[in-house]
Chains A and B, each alone.
Chain A
Amino acid sequence: MQAYIIRRLLALIPTLFFASVIVFVTVRMIPGDVIDLMLSQNDIAAAKMGREQLEKALGFDTPMWIQYGKWVGGILLHGDFGRSLWQNTPVGEQLLARLPITFELGLMALFFGLLIAIPIGVYSAVRQDSGSDYAARSFSILMLAVPSFWIGTMVMVFPSIWWGWSPPMRFVSFTADPLGNLSQMITPAIILGFGLSALTMRLTRTMMLEVLRQDFIRTAWAKGLGEELVVMRHALRNALIPVVTLIGLQAPLLIGGAVIMEQIFVIPGMGLLLLDAVSQRDYPIITGVFLIVGVAVMAINLVVDLSYGLLDPKVRYR
């Protein structure tokens, strides 16, 4: 197990290297832009310094690979992501403040996604080819096609026309007011959960169908166990293992969806931070969010792979 973890971590190094290069190169493709913007916005400090000094202050005057080295070195050695070009605050602090909010939204969305997907997937497998099976499957395929931002928009519009209800928009942190925080997060989380549930539902159904045909299930039936026991204890446990992998694969989808939900429901998470930074071309923040998101996805996938051993004793890490 330990050897496996070490090997997995070593295998992450080239991926992380490529990821950081992608992040760095993508964002620095047009380094002159932000300076143009700062000069044109009559930023007093910027106007005082002039173009060349500004370039120097922002570190744009050195060759790209030196900038890259400094940037990576700063992150690895001091956890320093640079400073925001506009507010001049450390980017690391901002990321740290925003990360838990997006994490909470993602976790809640995942919870609702599984809450919707697994019972329907199981039911649809147990009653294969029945009317409700067809309904559940069509619904899941439909959920793949409905854009989450459309559902979000409709949730903002129709309940307020019909019942005068609209989702709470003033953000309160979980520590200050847990109930208020949850009541704001729950709507976007359910919408995101619906989007996630589509593939999970399909996979749960497929895996259940496969497991239900196996010998040990027949044995369980033959022993005279009830349906609930056979399905829940014997079949579901074995069917869920590949479903866990799918959670890892869906992590990018979840984070991408969170950006849109944060924008619609005004939740100050990583997504909103990114969108604000994009509109101001605040490159250190954009780079920071970009990198953190990539690393988060890799970390989630690593955790998912490692959790295999807990779920399935047959898996041996070599």
Chain B
Amino acid sequence: MAPSDLSLADTSLAVPPRRPRNPVLLFIGRLFREKPLGAVCAVIFVLFLLCGIFADLLAPYGYNQISPLNRLKPPSMKWPFGTDNLGRDMLSRCLYGAQLSVIIGFCAAGIATFISVVLGIVSGYLGGKFDLIVQRFVDAWMSFPDLIILIVVVSVVGPGMIQIICTLGLLLGIAGSRIIRGAVVSVRENMYVHAAQSTGASTFRVLWRHILPNVMAPVIVLFTTRVGTVILAESGLSFLGLGVPPPAPTWGGLLSGSGRTYMLQGPWLALAPGLCLTVVVYATNMFGDALRDLLDPRMRGSR
């Protein structure tokens, strides 16, 4: 046997070193391969996130930097989105608006998801009378339109960023608990849950170690789609003048208030904020849909 043969046989037999593959990278690969539109939307979503985080660096002007000489300038190289009635740069205002949307969107969606998870898991796992009462409460809660609850609550607690984050978090948290509860009810009957129960695991341990990890897929999807819902709800509220008070440049606020009276002279004022909103909410929804299809095919078609 020639040495060369031996070495050849050696390499073919040798087990190739298995590099531990990062599950996140693997998932991103799957996203791009199976859901190209979802991947594009994920990129837009990440860009939006970065715009929000680095708004201070990206914005060419301050969001409230007034320059009376340059009032109501149409879009140009110097002001890509034009300027408003006080000469403030619309691009900078939209970027800072993205920052507000990121903060409100992620905080409120985080709170909402947390409430949904706690309420949904406890109600779905315990069942019985507790579940019945909680579900009637959720029924009652869900029969009020989101916007009406928001308007009423804001009228009581006053407008402001923290109030809006908490209200939206509570509002969407209670409504979303239905989705988590549904997932928990189906997970609850699995053999491994019964096994854990029969070995004497405490309720908390079963919930934390066995139920929660198995409903993580709907939880992630819920969080992503909630970001879009929150941004849309907040902008509606700001549009009505009940959101974050001016001069904070929320996207909804930019479409109302003083901007509104000058839109006939500067129609670009009506375009940029609405376009930002639409693109971001669309991307978030599509990204959420793609996540759902990949992570949790059972949830397909439900929202």
Query: Do B145 and A260 have beta carbons less than 8 Å apart?
Result: no
A185 to B236, CA, bound (A): 21
Complex interface bits, A106-150 against B, C-beta within 8 A gives 1, otherwise 0: 000000000000000000000000000000000001101111011
A-B contacts, 26 listed (Cβ < 8 Å): A15-B136, A15-B139, A18-B139, A18-B140, A26-B152, A26-B156, A142-B278, A142-B282, A145-B232, A147-B274, A147-B277, A150-B273, A153-B263, A158-B267, A161-B264, A255-B148, A256-B147, A259-B148, A260-B147, A274-B148, A278-B151, A278-B155, A293-B145, A294-B144, A297-B145, A301-B143
Those of B261-279 within 8 Å (CB) of chain A: 263-264, 267, 270-271, 273-274, 277-279
CB distance from B296 to the nearest CB of A (A): 18
CB distance from A259 to the nearest CB of B (A): 6
Complex interface bits, B146-185 against A, C-beta within 8 A gives 1, otherwise 0: 1111011111110000000000000000000000000000
Chain B residues within an 8 Å CB radius of A29: 156-157
Chain A residues within an 8 Å CB radius of B157: 29-30
Query: Do A274 and B151 have beta carbons less than 8 Å apart?
Result: yes
Chain B residues within an 8 Å CB radius of A274: 148, 151-152
Indicate which residue in A147, A278, A297 contacts B232 across the interface (CB closer than 8 Å).
A147
Query: Do A293 and B148 have beta carbons less than 8 Å apart?
Result: yes
Q: Identify whether the interface residues of B are mostly helix, strand, loop, or mixed.
A: helix
Chain B residues within an 8 Å CB radius of A145: 228, 232, 277-279, 281-282, 285
Query: Do B255 and A149 have beta carbons less than 8 Å apart?
Result: yes
A141 to B145, CA, bound (A): 21
A27 lies within 8 A of chain B by Cβ = yes
Those of A6-30 within 8 Å (CB) of chain B: 14-19, 22, 26-27, 29-30
Query: Do B144 and A290 have beta carbons less than 8 Å apart?
Result: yes
Please, which residue of chain A has its CB at the minimum distance from the CB of B138?
A18
Query: Do B236 and A149 have beta carbons less than 8 Å apart?
Result: yes
The total of chain A residues at the interface (CB under 8 A) is 49
Those of A268-318 within 8 Å (CB) of chain B: 274-275, 278, 281, 286, 289-290, 293-294, 297-298, 301
What bracket does the count of chain B residues touching chain A fall in?
Answer: 35 or more
A183 lies within 8 A of chain B by Cβ = no
Please, which residue of chain B has its CB at the minimum distance from the CB of A142?
B282
Query: Do B146 and A153 have beta carbons less than 8 Å apart?
Result: no
Chain B residues within an 8 Å CB radius of A289: 148
Those of B237-261 within 8 Å (CB) of chain A: 239-240, 242, 252, 255-256, 260
Indicate which residue in A17, A147, A281, A297 contacts B144 across the interface (CB closer than 8 Å).
A297
Complex interface bits, B114-145 against A, C-beta within 8 A gives 1, otherwise 0: 00000000000000000000001101111111
Chain A residues within an 8 Å CB radius of B83: none
Chain B residues within an 8 Å CB radius of A33: 156
Residues on B lying within 8 angstroms of A by beta carbon are 136-137, 139-149, 151-157, 228, 232, 235-236, 239-240, 242, 252, 255-256, 260, 263-264, 267, 270-271, 273-274, 277-279, 281-282, 285-286, 301, 303
Query: Do A150 and B277 have beta carbons less than 8 Å apart?
Result: yes
Chain B residues within an 8 Å CB radius of A30: 156-157
Chain B residues within an 8 Å CB radius of A245: none
CB distance from B236 to the nearest CB of A (A): 6
Chain A residues within an 8 Å CB radius of B152: 26-27, 274, 278, 286, 290
A94 lies within 8 A of chain B by Cβ = no
Beyond contacts A142-B282, A294-B143: 19 other A-B pairs, Cβ-Cβ < 8 A, are A15-B143, A18-B136, A18-B137, A141-B282, A144-B285, A145-B277, A145-B278, A147-B281, A153-B270, A154-B271, A255-B148, A259-B147, A259-B151, A260-B147, A274-B152, A278-B151, A278-B242, A293-B144, A293-B148
Please, which residue of chain A has its CB at the minimum distance from the CB of B242?
A278
CB distance from A103 to the nearest CB of B (A): 14
CB distance from B158 to the nearest CB of A (A): 9
Given contacts A149-B252, A278-B151, contact A154 B274 (CB under 8 A): yes
